[in-house]
């Protein structure tokens, strides 16, 4: 019987790991659909970003209460699942609390701290559920999240609560069986744990067979729940648990107000101002800006997959605040959805053969792009270093330079800049006239 359980456990573990890495490879391929972009400078600053923004969650603490809640839920869930290593080893070798024999008295200290964190995670997850579904915090009740995104967030919070409850109940049944001196539970005696011992009064009414069934059921459900969570992660906004770290490392370090110019366009402006420098050997770019996923950089696509859907960008966006259609969060969600759509087509056809859709127009509308003021509020607010503005600017560049699609006011300004080197319609020779009129 024990051998059969070990074989079953090893098979399930292998399947979970294979499925996770299979999906992870598909996401990596989807991100790789973007254009190459070399990002390998200022390594000390990049590692500092990883420590402060990803590990330390620095930006989350702009709102101290939410920062503390999020940090404990995140850290608690990760730290508690260190115990996953013990569960895996026990499952493979058929042992019982294998680390208890190795760590001695420190093992009880470790599990006690895990149990305290488990209770904190349960309480804080309940608070988050209340914020989303009862208090309906504005940025968490936005229309961007209608349907699956809202359900996704609730599923994750409920799953975390269930996993923590299973962990506590498993420990309670286990330690109660130790006290009763039942079978293999006496191999490594741990004594009662700080939180789960309060469940003894509830479980003590059951006989040993029921307790063993309870402990084994909680053990299996806990590990199966973690494996399920692992494979749900790549389909969820909670993928940022993993991608926040590389995204913080590859975050843009230049000042936010500095836009990335196209060298070819910059060269043409230079030639217009200094015609003597003009040459005929410069290659004309195939296209300006971005219309679809393949026109964006891999960093733009990494941003899209890292998006936490927290809505801080949209809450800070002046266009969104004033009722315009633009939502930076939706820009990132749409970009990810389009990348996933192309990825599914590649899975089906073994290659991307194209379709009649594109990110621009079919996912992100002209009205959304025109509403952006390029203020960088969304970039400033993002807790995981995402840059929605970069995608907006590239799509808008395609809109204007490839499709000649611009409002009349913009076209007039472009014409003035081209002819007069200023947004206003007067000759450059008259620029200093205001001084003579004083």
pLDDT of residue 422: 82
CA dist list (Å): 210 to 214, 219, 290, 328, 358: 6, 14, 62, 53, 58
Question: For residue 215, what are the contacts with CB-CB under 8 A and spacing of at least 6?
Answer: 170, 173, 174, 177
Question: For residue 347, what are the contacts with CB-CB under 8 A and spacing of at least 6?
Answer: 26
> Tens-of-pLDDT digits for all 438 residues of the chain?
678 888 999 999 999 999 999 999 999 999 999 999 999 899 999 999 999 988 888 888 888 888 888 888 887 777 777 778 888 888 888 888 888 888 888 889 999 999 999 999 999 999 999 998 999 888 888 888 888 888 998 999 999 999 999 999 999 999 999 999 888 888 778 889 999 999 999 999 999 999 999 999 999 999 999 999 999 999 998 899 899 999 999 999 988 888 888 777 777 777 766 776 666 665 666 788 899 999 999 999 999 999 999 999 999 999 999 999 999 999 999 999 999 999 999 999 888 888 889 999 999 999 999 999 999 999 999 999 899 999 999 999 999 988 989 888 888 888 888 788 788 887 877 777 777 765
Q: How is 6-22 classified by DSSP, letter by letter? A: HHHHHHHHHHHHHHHHH
Count of positions (residues) in the chain: 438
Residue 146 CB neighbour total at 10 angstroms:
10
Could you give the CA distance from residue 314 to residue 359 in angstroms, rounded to a whole number? 19
Could you give the CA distance from residue 396 to residue 119 in angstroms, rounded to a whole number? 48
pTM above 0.85, yes or no: yes
pLDDT of residue 368: 96
Rounded to the nearest 5 degrees, what angle is found at the Cα of 74, between the Cα atoms of 221 and 22? 60
pLDDT of residue 391: 96
């Amino acid at each position: 019987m024990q051998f059969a359980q070990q074989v079953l456990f090893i098979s399930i573990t292998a399947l979970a790991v294979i499925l996770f890495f299979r999906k992870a490879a598909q996401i990596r391929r989807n991100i790789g659909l973007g254009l190459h972009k070399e990002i390998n400078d200022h390594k000390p600053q990049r590692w500092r970003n990883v420590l402060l923004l990803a590990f330390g969650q620095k930006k989350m603490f702009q709102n101290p209460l939410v920062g503390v809640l999020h940090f404990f839920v995140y850290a608690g869930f990760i730290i508690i699942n260190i115990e996953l290593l013990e569960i895996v080893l026990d499952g493979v070798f058929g042992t019982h609390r294998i680390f208890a024999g190795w760590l001695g008295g420190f093992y009880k200290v470790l599990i006690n701290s895990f149990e305290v964190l488990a209770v904190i995670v349960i309480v804080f997850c309940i608070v988050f559920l209340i914020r989303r579904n009862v208090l309906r915090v504005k940025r968490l009740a936005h229309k961007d999240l209608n349907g699956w995104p809202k359900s996704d967030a609730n599923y994750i919070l409920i799953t975390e609560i269930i996993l923590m409850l299973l962990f506590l109940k498993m420990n309670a049944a286990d330690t109660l069986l130790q006290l009763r001196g039942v079978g293999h539970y006496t191999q490594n005696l741990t004594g009662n744990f700080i939180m789960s011992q309060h469940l003894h009064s509830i479980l003590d009414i059951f006989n040993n067979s029921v307790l063993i069934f309870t402990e084994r059921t909680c053990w299996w459900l806990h590990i199966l729940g973690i494996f399920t969570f692992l494979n749900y992660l790549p389909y969820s906004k909670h993928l940022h648990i993993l991608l926040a770290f590389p995204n913080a490392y590859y975050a843009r370090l230049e000042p936010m107000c500095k836009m990335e110019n196209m060298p070819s366009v910059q060269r043409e402006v230079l030639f217009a101002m200094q015609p003597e420098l003009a040459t005929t050997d410069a290659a004309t770019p195939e296209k300006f800006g971005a219309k679809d996923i393949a026109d964006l950089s891999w960093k733009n696509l990494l941003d899209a997959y890292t998006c936490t859907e927290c809505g801080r960008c949209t809450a800070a966006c002046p266009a969104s605040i004033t009722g315009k259609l633009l939502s930076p969060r939706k820009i990132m969600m749409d970009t990810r959805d389009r990348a996933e759509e192309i990825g599914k087509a590649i899975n089906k056809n073994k290659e991307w053969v194209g379709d009649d859709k594109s990110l621009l127009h079919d996912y992100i509308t002209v009205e959304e792009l025109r509403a952006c003021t390029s203020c960088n509020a969304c970039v400033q607010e993002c807790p995981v270093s995402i840059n929605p503005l970069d995608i907006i600017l590239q799509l808008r560049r395609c809109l204007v330079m490839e499709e000649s699609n611009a409002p009349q006011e913009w076209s007039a300004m472009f014409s003035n800049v081209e002819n007069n080197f200023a947004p206003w319609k007067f000759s450059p020779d008259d620029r200093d006239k205001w001084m003579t009129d004083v």
